Structure 1
Amino acid sequence: MKQELKDHDMPRDEEIKDQNTDSIDESEMDPEPIYDNPTHKGYGRLKDKVAIVTGGDSGIGRAISVAFAKEGSHVVIIYYDSNEDADKTKKIIEDYGSRCLLMKGDLGKSDFSRKIIERTLEEFNRIDIIVNSAAEQHPKDSLEEISDEQLERIFRTNIFAMFYLIREALPHLKEGASIINTNSNTSFVGNPRLIDYSATKGAISSFTRSLSLNLASRRIRVNQVAPGPIWTPLIPSTFSGDDVKNFGKNVPLARPGQPVELAEAYVFLASDGSTYMTGQTLHINGGEIVNG
Structure 2
Amino acid sequence: MTSEHLIDPRTMYYSGKFPKQEEMHPQVEKVMDPKPDCGETSYKGNNKLEGRNAFITGGDSGIGRAVAIAFAREGANVAIQYLPGEEADAEDVKKLIEAEGRKAHIISADFREEGAAKKAFDEVLEAFGTVDALILNSAQQFARDGMDKLTMEQVKDTFDVKVFSMFEIVKAAEDHLAPGSTIVTTTSTQSFEPSPALMDYASANGAVSNLTVNLARYFAEKGVRVNGVAPGPIWTALQLDEGQADSYADFGQDTLLGRAGQPVELAPLYVFLSSNDSSFITSEIIAITGGKSLTL
**If the length of structure 2 is used for normalisation, what is the TM-score?**
0.90
Aligned 8 A contact 2:15 2:259 in 1:
yes
Q: Which moved more, 1:246-255 or 1:64-73?
A: 246-255
Letter in structure 1 aligned against 2:69: V
The answer on 1:225 being equivalent to 2:229 is yes
Which structure 1 segments of 5+ residues have no match? 12-17
Aligned 8 A contact 1:49 1:74 in 2:
yes
The aligned residue for residue 176 of structure 2 is 172
The aligned residue for residue 66 of structure 1 is 69
1:267 to 259, 268, 271: 271
Quote the offset at 1:24 in angstroms. 3.3
The aligned residue for residue 283 of structure 1 is 287
The CA deviation string for residues 191-236 of structure 1, in whole angstroms up to 9 with x for no partner, is: 1210111000100111011111111111111100000000011112
What is the rounded CA distance, in whole Å, between the counterparts of 1:33 and 1:85 in structure 2?
Answer: 12
Aligned 1:134-153 pairs, distance under 5 A: 134-153=138-157
The aligned residue for residue 157 of structure 1 is 161
| Aligned partner of residue 189 in structure 1, secondary structure | coil
The aligned residue for residue 6 of structure 2 is none
Assess, with a 3 A threshold, how the Cα gap between structure 1 residues 105 and 253 changes in structure 2: closer, same or farther.
same
The answer on 1:42 being equivalent to 2:50 is no
Aligned 8 A contact 2:109 2:120 in 1:
no
Assess, with a 3 A threshold, how the Cα gap between structure 1 residues 268 and 28 changes in structure 2: closer, same or farther.
same
The aligned residue for residue 92 of structure 1 is 96
What is the rounded CA distance, in whole Å, between the counterparts of 2:243 and 2:155 in structure 1?
Answer: 18
Quote the offset at 1:9 in angstroms. 1.1
**RMSD value over aligned CA atoms?**
1.9
Assess, with a 3 A threshold, how the Cα gap between structure 1 residues 169 and 241 changes in structure 2: closer, same or farther.
closer
Aligned 8 A contact 1:113 1:168 in 2:
no
Aligned 8 A contact 2:57 2:135 in 1:
yes
State the structure with bigger RCO (CA 8 A, min sep 6), 1 or 2.
Answer: 1
**If the length of structure 1 is used for normalisation, what is the TM-score?**
0.92
Aligned 8 A contact 1:10 1:248 in 2:
no
Letter in structure 2 aligned against 1:23: P
Letter in structure 2 aligned against 1:94: E
The CA deviation string for residues 108-152 of structure 1, in whole angstroms up to 9 with x for no partner, is: 334223322322222211111000111001111122321121111
The aligned residue for residue 80 of structure 2 is 77
What is the rounded CA distance, in whole Å, between the counterparts of 2:27 and 2:127 in structure 1?
Answer: 30
Aligned 8 A contact 2:55 2:135 in 1:
yes
2:33 to 30, 45, 50: 30
The CA deviation string for residues 46-89 of structure 1, in whole angstroms up to 9 with x for no partner, is: 01100000000011100000000000000010011200000001
Q: Percent identity?
A: 37
Letter in structure 1 aligned against 2:17: D
What is the rounded CA distance, in whole Å, between the counterparts of 1:92 and 1:104 in structure 2?
Answer: 18
Count of residues in Structure 1 that have an aligned counterpart in Structure 2? 282
